[in-house]
Amino acid sequence: MNKIRIAVLVSGGGTNLQALIDAQAKGSLQSGEIALVVSNKPGAYALERAKRAGIETLTLTRTDCGSQEGFETALMEALDSRKIGLIVLAGFMSILSASFTGHYENRMINIHPSLIPSFCGKGYYGLRVHEAALAYGVKVTGATVHYVNEVPDGGKILLQKAVSVEPGDTPETLQRRVMEQAEWRILPEAAEMVSAKLLNDKENWI
Ligand code: GRF
């Protein structure tokens, strides 16, 4: 069976990458295969997870490439030369330009740890998202998988899952619950959904 070649872009621990690797091993991710993991942070633990699963890894930093533009050109070349069909941003801490996101329109998705349009956009990343949710006092938060466009966290929503805020939550306990109950479930589900759609929609192939 043909599969969409997936690249996962990471910057950190890679628990969402791990959820994708596990889904592939279980067969719930079957329309796509993880062909490449790219980190913009040398030494990110996500790279270890990829190596352990036998997946090709690449580290590309803006400093090495001289500029954001140089970084994006090198990244695009790495992705396109490997015939990557779907890009999954899984804790990737870099905002990509409109020319990059436009090149991969409907072929790039991101996981964000809130129910968009709450607590999203520039400056809302990592623990800050959960700090903001607790400061506001919401009783329900969650995670969102969306297509990536030129607006940070602004693309069309694919999947969302709600998670309760519990009394006594800290940003850390809330982050963990959102990951366990939402992120690690809906990211592999969305990767399968979009891979299946791209397989059926051959004009979107590279
Ligand atoms: C996750 O909370 C994800 O939603 C956000 O960054 C975090 C990455 O965690 N975009 P990990 O590297 O997947 O463990």
Residue nearest to atom 5 of ligand 1 (CA): 91
**CA 110 to ligand 1: nearest atom:** 10
Residue nearest to atom 10 of ligand 1 (CA): 91
Domains of the chain (ranges; CATH) run 4-201 (3.40.50.170)
Residue 201's pLDDT is: 85
Q: How is 68-92 classified by DSSP, letter by letter?
A: HHHHHHHHHHHHHHTT--EEEESS-
Which of 183, 184, 186 should be mutated for ligand 1, with most atoms under 8 A from CB? 183
Any ligand 1 atom below 6 A from CB of 91: yes
Residue 13's pLDDT is: 97
Contacts of 183-186 spanning 24+ positions with Cβ under 8 A:
183/15, 183/16, 183/19, 183/111, 183/113, 183/143, 184/15, 184/16, 184/18, 184/19, 185/19, 185/161, 186/111, 186/143, 186/145, 186/159, 186/160, 186/161
Alpha helices in 34-160 (DSSP H): 45-52, 62-65, 68-81, 98-103, 127-136
Closest by Cα among 185, 169, 96 to 134: 169
Q: Are 93 and 12 in contact (CB under 8 A)?
A: yes
Residue 28's pLDDT is: 98
Residues of the chain with pLDDT under 70: 202-206
Helices (H) and strands (E) in the chain, counts: 8, 7
Residue 6's pLDDT is: 98
List all residues 6 or more positions away from 78 whose beta carbon is below 8 Å from its beta carbon. Answer: 36, 38, 58, 60
Structure pTM?
A: 0.96
